[in-house]
């Protein structure tokens, strides 16, 4: 660092120490839990003439009252804000009819789904106003919590922020020899979709990013399933929370207000090998984790976000929300709880990743507006990948927090900065946080099916994605 740089750094650091914000609605000690947690309805489905499980989604405009007395303009699917949960089973052939009732084009991406690229809903599958797009695919992957959101090139952040987001649950056989996972939707198996927002004086959503903030907009309040500090009544000993970080740029370190430990049972791409006891789980934008919390009769505890470890220096940490703490959701147990079956001791069979299976290695450097120095170009293919190939991707983020998401696949993390991934991230993933200036190595097996349109890979801090931190790969039969 030269002198000027050092000086600027410390001026900023000192300044920051003095900026305090008024406590928002989620501030620890100030949060009041007045409204019940909204549970996104399960989307209705029926068998169509071809035996496919058919869903209908309509992207539309609406309003929501996030602040008493103010109608905030929002968007949703089949609703004013957010969308229904799509529940499907492994082996299902599904079709989703997405109608765009918005005044502008959008797309719908099935984040985490293994499907043909033309069904993926990335920036190449724009849906014009008034049009209906009907992607169809067969679910070939195991039980997992996925999600859907728009992906128009250069405008993903705005479309996601307005509320066009929902969850997808994939069910799989699910029989365990010595226990069970809570699975009654909305009762002991609860979606927890987290988005931070800022409202202006008129109560409208604004995406404010001060010049010195390098990560993207950070909201002042955090919505859980679209509500501010809701509560959920718990009647069973065990409750499963399907945590989804649907935020633009905020990283959360989820935990419980009394510091009690919980079990992580699934990561982005499916169940872990066994329940993992921990007190914290860090999720960056796009990541999911299913956790199971054990309640005692009469308990009142809160799902909180503690200051997340971002791996940055002091200033960048502060600017990226690394010191922010939130109370998100209150869990209220009744005095007597129904007995839950024990958690299974084994959840899934996952082999140790074998790097020697890789056909080649590629490296990616993610900055706030480029990958490997190139800004996203819809006409450029950044990687030609042989169908069915297994590759090691070495991914590094430059200077500030980034993460990395690959479409159409699930991957394993070989190592992060030379260390084995923490156990909660040792299973199947599709999005991974990148500690600044370190290298994360991923082992990825690509689809067998050839495509003539590309899949995306990108930083899921959506401002970075929109600004160009995205690239495209094409799965084909040519050997690169």
The residue at minimum Cβ distance from ligand C2O is 111
Select from 75, 402, 405, 458 the one that contacts Cu ion (CB under 5 A): 402
Q: Residue 263 touches which of ligand C2O, Cu ion, none (CB < 5 to 8 A by kind)? A: none
CA distance 246 to 196: 8
Subset of residues 457 to 476 that bind Cu ion, contact rule: CB under 5 A: 459, 461, 464
- Distance in Å, CB of 112 to Cu ion, minimum: 19
What tokens does 111 get? 């984040």
- Distance in Å, CB of 430 to Cu ion, minimum: 16
Q: Residue 405 touches which of ligand C2O, Cu ion, none (CB < 5 to 8 A by kind)? A: ligand C2O
DSSP 269-288: TEEEEEEEEES-EEE-TT-E
3-state secondary structure (DSSP) of residue 355? helix
Binding mask 259-298 for ligand C2O (x = CB under 6 A): ---------------------------x------------
- Whether residue 402 contacts residue 366, with contact meaning beta carbons closer than 8 Å, is answered with yes
Beta carbons within 8 Å of 356's beta carbon, 6+ residues apart: none
Select from 81, 109, 402, 412 the one that contacts ligand C2O (CB under 6 A): 109
> How far apart, in Å, are the Cα atoms of 397 and each of 325, 391, 394?
24, 19, 10
**Strand 189-199 relative to strand 238-245, pairing:** parallel
- Whether residue 287 contacts residue 245, with contact meaning beta carbons closer than 8 Å, is answered with yes
Kindly tell me which of 145 and 304 has the beta carbon lying closer to ligand C2O: 145
Kindly tell me which of 239 and 470 has the beta carbon lying closer to ligand C2O: 470
Q: Residue 308 touches which of ligand C2O, Cu ion, none (CB < 5 to 8 A by kind)? A: none
3-state secondary structure (DSSP) of residue 209? coil
Kindly tell me which of 402 and 407 has the beta carbon lying closer to Cu ion: 402
Q: Residue 464 touches which of ligand C2O, Cu ion, none (CB < 5 to 8 A by kind)? A: Cu ion
- Distance in Å, CB of 116 to ligand C2O, minimum: 16
Subset of residues 428 to 457 that bind ligand C2O, contact rule: CB under 6 A: 456
Q: Where are the alpha helices (DSSP H) in 350-474?
A: 462-467
Q: Look-up: residue for tokens 């106003």? A: 129
Binding mask 422-461 for Cu ion (x = CB under 5 A): -------------------------------------x-x
- Distance in Å, CB of 112 to ligand C2O, minimum: 8
What tokens does 341 get? 């079956």
Among the listed residues 81, 56, 287, 107, the one whose alpha carbon sits nearest the alpha carbon of residue 165: 81
- Distance in Å, CB of 285 to ligand C2O, minimum: 8
Q: Residue 402 touches which of ligand C2O, Cu ion, none (CB < 5 to 8 A by kind)? A: Cu ion
The answer to the question of residue 263 lying near Cu ion (CB under 5 A) is no
Subset of residues 350 to 409 that bind ligand C2O, contact rule: CB under 6 A: 405, 407
Kindly tell me which of 108 and 264 has the beta carbon lying closer to ligand C2O: 108
Q: Segment near Cu ion (CB under 5 A), from 47-55, 187-195, 315-323, 398-406?
A: 398-406
Counting Cα atoms < 13 Å in the Cβ hemisphere of 67 gives 17
Give the N- to C-terminal CA distance of the chain in Å, as an integer: 41
Beta carbons within 8 Å of 428's beta carbon, 6+ residues apart: 144, 267, 268, 269, 270, 350, 410, 411, 412
For residue 401, count CB atoms less than 10 angstroms from its CB and return exposed for 0-12, middle for 13-18, buried for 19 or more: buried
Kindly tell me which of 33 and 364 has the beta carbon lying closer to ligand C2O: 364
Q: Residue 429 touches which of Cu ion, ligand C2O, none (CB < 5 to 8 A by kind)? A: none
Kindly tell me which of 284 and 304 has the beta carbon lying closer to ligand C2O: 284
Q: Look-up: residue for tokens 């501030």? A: 27
For residue 273, count CB atoms less than 10 angstroms from its CB and return exposed for 0-12, middle for 13-18, buried for 19 or more: middle
CA distance 416 to 422: 9
Interface residues with Cu ion (CB under 5 A) are 402, 459, 461, 464
Interface residues with ligand C2O (CB under 6 A) are 109, 111, 149, 151, 286, 405, 407, 456, 458, 460
């Amino acid at each position: 660092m030269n002198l000027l740089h050092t000086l600027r750094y410390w001026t900023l650091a000192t300044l920051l120490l003095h900026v305090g914000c008024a406590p928002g609605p989620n501030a620890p000690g100030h949060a009041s839990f007045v409204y019940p947690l909204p549970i996104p309805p399960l989307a209705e489905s029926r068998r169509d003439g071809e035996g496919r499980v058919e869903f209908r989604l309509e992207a539309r405009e609406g309003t929501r009252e996030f602040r008493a007395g103010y109608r905030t303009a929002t968007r949703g699917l089949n609703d004013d804000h957010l969308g229904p949960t799509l529940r499907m089973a492994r082996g299902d052939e599904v079709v989703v009819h997405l109608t765009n009732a918005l005044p502008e084009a959008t797309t719908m991406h099935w984040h985490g789904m293994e499907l043909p690229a033309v069904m993926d809903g990335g920036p190449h599958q724009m849906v014009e106003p008034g049009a209906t797009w009907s992607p169809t695919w067969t679910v070939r992957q195991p039980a997992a919590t996925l999600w859907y959101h728009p992906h128009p090139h250069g405008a993903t952040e705005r479309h996601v922020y307005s509320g066009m987001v929902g969850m997808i649950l994939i069910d799989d056989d699910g029989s365990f020899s010595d226990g069970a996972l809570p699975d009654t939707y909305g009762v002991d198996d609860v979606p927890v979709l987290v988005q931070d927002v800022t409202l202006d004086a008129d109560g409208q959503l604004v995406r404010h990013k001060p010049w010195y903030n390098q990560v993207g907009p950070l909201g002042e309040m955090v919505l859980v399933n679209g509500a501010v500090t809701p509560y959920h009544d718990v009647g069973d000993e065990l409750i499963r929370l399907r945590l989804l970080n649907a935020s633009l740029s905020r990283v959360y370190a989820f935990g419980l207000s009394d510091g009690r430990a919980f079990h992580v049972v699934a990561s982005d791409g499916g169940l872990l090998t066994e329940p993992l006891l921990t007190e914290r789980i860090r999720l960056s934008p796009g990541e999911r984790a299913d956790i199971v919390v054990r309640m005692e009769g009469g308990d009142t505890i809160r799902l909180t976000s503690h200051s997340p470890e971002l791996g940055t220096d002091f200033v960048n940490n502060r600017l990226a929300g690394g010191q922010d703490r939130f109370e998100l959701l209150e869990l209220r147990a009744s005095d007597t709880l129904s007995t839950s079956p024990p958690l299974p001791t084994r959840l899934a069979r996952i082999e140790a990743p074998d790097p020697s299976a890789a056909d080649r290695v590629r490296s990616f450097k993610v900055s706030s507006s480029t990958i490997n120095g190139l800004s996203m170009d819809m006409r450029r293919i950044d990687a030609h990948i042989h169908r069915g190939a297994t590759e090691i991707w070495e991914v590094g983020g430059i200077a500030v927090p980034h993460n990395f998401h690959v479409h159409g696949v699930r991957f394993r993390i070989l190592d992060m900065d030379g260390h084995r991934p923490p156990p909660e991230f040792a299973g199947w993933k599709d999005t991974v946080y990148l500690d600044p200036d370190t290298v994360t190595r991923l082992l990825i097996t690509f689809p067998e099916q050839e495509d003539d349109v590309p899949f995306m890979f990108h930083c899921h801090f959506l401002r970075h994605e929109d600004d160009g931190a995205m690239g495209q790969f094409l799965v084909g039969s040519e050997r690169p």
